[in-house]
Structure 1
Amino acid sequence: MNKEKRYEIFRRLREDNPHPTTELNFNSPFELLIAVILSAQATDVGVNKATDKLFPVANTPEAIYALGVDGLSEYIKTIGLFNSKARNVIETCRLLIELHGSQVPDNREALEALPGVGRKTANVVLNTAFGHPVMAVDTHIFRVSNRTNIAPGKTVLEVEKKLMRHVPKEFLIDAHHWLILHGRYVCRARTPQCGSCRIEDLCEYKHKTSD
């Protein structure tokens, strides 16, 4: 795919949604970090249902740490893998209190040192909370990047590096939100909605549907 096509793809996505953001509910970098940790192999809707009850009660490292694993588990037990996530969140809260003055660090190395935080989670926090031009590649972005040919790759890291290289700079801050939303609602895994897709004429997918 050439750079002119890529530019037009992101221009249209921006035109349709000038200020995209995550669908996770949060009001601080800490709330975002906890929500993203909880969202692994879970839906944003499911995470929001849990955090909408949790955050009014506890939305600081000290408050969540005080709940303990058992107390936190009661709030998040509707989310998949809640036992291991509860342990990770409690340990993350302890480390934030002890090492970071209860603040979420805004650098990748410190974030990835927290339990339950991998590269994708760190990238979400760096981008959405702190405005870093990074790309958090999830299953939706991986699929869209390969299917459209925007940034094909065999691994998540390969796709991430290609997107960082090929997405025009003016779109980089918001690009991962546009791609996630496009993959979630239009370029869906089993039944892509090609007939109603804003970028169908630019997409290089060979098996387009006529929905």
Structure 2
Amino acid sequence: MPILLAAAALAQATPVPPPTAPAAPAPVDVARMAALYDEACLQTFPIDGQLDALMMKKGATPMPADQVRISLKEDPGRGWRVRDGDQTFVVLLELPPYHACSVRASQNSTGSSVDLAPYRAVVDRFVATHRDFAAQPPMDMTRGGIRIHGEMQSRPLPNGAENLLVINQQIVDPKLLEPGTTSTPLRFVHQIVTKS
């Protein structure tokens, strides 16, 4: 009986831990993200019906229109959540006038670098079989405590342009690391812009 009383006393004396914040996203597996981008946005897009079929085949979860609007704003389109093990990716299809397919992932980082080699590898293969792509100057800027890095390759089309982009946002201001503000997107985009 003394052991039970001691255990009960210890249990009462043990402080209850504070509620934990929601779990941070797993580090982005750039290789898996790039493979999905290659399959969905480089090999299947811009044939929208085939992208719909691919998402169904993958068991992707269609996103409600209000969630799609968070990313696409007023532009028309649709989106899916794709689970791949411990990773969840978002695939968005933006409909004309800005016809685009993107794969996005949330990351929780404070400025650590992301190895974009897997993205560059799939884009290099695509560019090797499609003429006239040219790398544009990279973009690096910091706004509101968030560092934005962008890379783009572009080629002219008879009535517009085709663009391949990667946009990586990293938090650099620790004051932004409060619950709900730590997730920043990594985006791979294939865009076809048509002049009106």
Give TM-score scaled by structure 1 length.
0.21
User: Could you say which structure has the higher helix fraction?
Assistant: 1
Q: Which has the larger radius of gyration?
A: 2
Give TM-score scaled by structure 2 length.
0.22
